[in-house]
Amino acid sequence: MMILPGNTLGMLGGGQLGRMFTIAARNMGYEVMVLDPDTSSPAGELASQHICAEYTDQAALDTLSQHCAAITTEFENIPASILEQLTGHCPVRPGARAVTITQDRIHEKTFLQDKGFPTAPFAVIRSEADLSTGLQALTSPTILKVSRFGYDGKGQVAVTSEADLQAAWQSLDGNECVLEQRMPLDVEISVVLARSTTGETRPFPVAENSHVNGILDVSIVPARVDTALCDKAIKMAIDIAEALDYVGVMAVEFFVSKGELLVNEIAPRPHNSGHYTLDATVTSQFEQQVRAVCGLPLGDTRLLSPVVMVNMLGDLWHGGQPPQWDKLLSHDNVKLHLYGKHQARVGRKMGHFNVLASDVAAALQLAEDIRQSLQAP
């Protein structure tokens, strides 16, 4: 059954991904109810209604259940029990199972391994004894990653020796972790795709991603990667979506290591590396999320122009002052997206811009020039 404009959609999480979903949904004539404990969340400020409460607040969940025709999330750390409870009232897309698997690195990596998808070699760390067995099973160097609640490279520690590993595990409070072999990377790519209620899948073009300090910095589309490899990545991402019986928008991050694809991680939501779709594809990942969640046919994902997306972190704000936007806005082929965050902090994602140009090289050059000019205090 299609959920048509005029209905109210629920969004669990009020960050920038929720905000861009809210914009797309409201643009299409839906009302959006956002649940987020923050009084001034990026999505809450644009929602039809912001329920300012914890994700476990029963009264808040009751309000959502009463008003929403469907519920989705922008944030993988919603407890699965909450999603299950809401499922009793209206469709929750993606469903609890897909979120449960992808919100926990141990579940996620085990799922990938069981289904035969290639990953970097890893070991599960649940106890002190797992540390040395884990390290022995892998080739140094390795990275210890906390199993839950990590993002933007947080909750990750480089490890080369057993002494390192002890200290690293203690610094992560002895929480459950995955110890992962550090792979030599040719390049990183990602596939954002949607899967509909009817099982139709629509991938967006593959993005080539570069990270700085574990945080996505730039996405380049089309990726400067062999077409056959891109096709293989798309096929793998679709197979993963099917194995999860996924409904909604999701992303798969890949390492390309010595010419081979390895799945890094799955995000059960739109993804930072898909922000280029806001300006460069027929349908954006957020409109696609609305379509998938509402049981509508999916939109065309065709690329309209080569594009480079650049993330803007709080580091660009000096003494609380924003960068000089005129230096960016003076270019007629550059699109600015700000998330309405009131406080700039180092490493905090404040916005991004998309550069559209006749080819990727030209877009990259302009993106770098603009970044330089924004960095000047």
Site residues, Mg ion (CB under 5 A): 253, 265
Interaction partner, residue 188 (Mg ion, ligand ATP, none; CB < 5-8 Å by kind): ligand ATP
Decide whether 214 or 322 has the Cβ nearer to ligand ATP: 214
Binding mask 96-135 for ligand ATP (x = CB under 6 A): ------------------------x---------------
Decide whether 22 or 73 has the Cβ nearer to Mg ion: 73
Decide whether 31 or 104 has the Cβ nearer to ligand ATP: 104
Decide whether 178 or 367 has the Cβ nearer to ligand ATP: 178
Site for ligand ATP contains 74 (CB under 6 A): no
Decide whether 182 or 348 has the Cβ nearer to ligand ATP: 182
Residue type, position 13, single letter? G
What is the Cβ-side half-sphere exposure of residue 240, based on CA atoms within 13 angstroms? 37
Residue pair 188/210 in contact by the 8 Å Cβ criterion:
yes
Please give the Cα distance from 111 to 101 (Å, whole number): 7
**CA trace torsion 113, 116, 117, 123 (10° rounding):** 20
In sequence order, what E strands does 243-371 have?
Answer: 248-257, 260-267, 307-313, 334-338, 349-356
Other beta carbons within 10 angstroms of residue 9's beta carbon come to: 28
Question: In degrees, to the nearest 5, what angle opens at C-alpha 269 toward C-alphas 21 and 225?
Answer: 110
Interaction partner, residue 214 (Mg ion, ligand ATP, none; CB < 5-8 Å by kind): ligand ATP
Please give the Cα distance from 5 to 365 (Å, whole number): 41
**Which listed residue (83, 99, 143, 328) binds ligand ATP by CB under 6 A?**
143
**Which listed residue (62, 140, 151, 170) binds ligand ATP by CB under 6 A?**
151
**Which listed residue (5, 37, 79, 214) binds ligand ATP by CB under 6 A?**
214
Decide whether 151 or 325 has the Cβ nearer to ligand ATP: 151
Q: Cβ-count burial of 216 within 10 angstroms (0-12 exposed, 13-18 middle, 19+ buried)?
A: buried
Please give the Cα distance from 79 to 103 (Å, whole number): 9
Please give the Cα distance from 229 to 239 (Å, whole number): 15
Interaction partner, residue 120 (ligand ATP, Mg ion, none; CB < 5-8 Å by kind): ligand ATP
Decide whether 68 or 138 has the Cβ nearer to ligand ATP: 138
3-state SS class at 361: helix
Please give the Cα distance from 83 to 94 (Å, whole number): 9
Interaction partner, residue 183 (ligand ATP, Mg ion, none; CB < 5-8 Å by kind): ligand ATP
User: Which CA distances in Å does 188 have to 213, 275, 325?
Assistant: 14, 16, 30
Among 86-94, 142-150, 191-199, 358-366, which window interacts with ligand ATP (CB under 6 A)?
142-150
Interaction partner, residue 190 (ligand ATP, Mg ion, none; CB < 5-8 Å by kind): none
Interaction partner, residue 94 (Mg ion, ligand ATP, none; CB < 5-8 Å by kind): none
Decide whether 31 or 253 has the Cβ nearer to ligand ATP: 253
Residues binding ligand ATP (CB under 6 A): 120, 143, 145, 150-154, 180-183, 185, 188, 211, 214, 253, 264-265
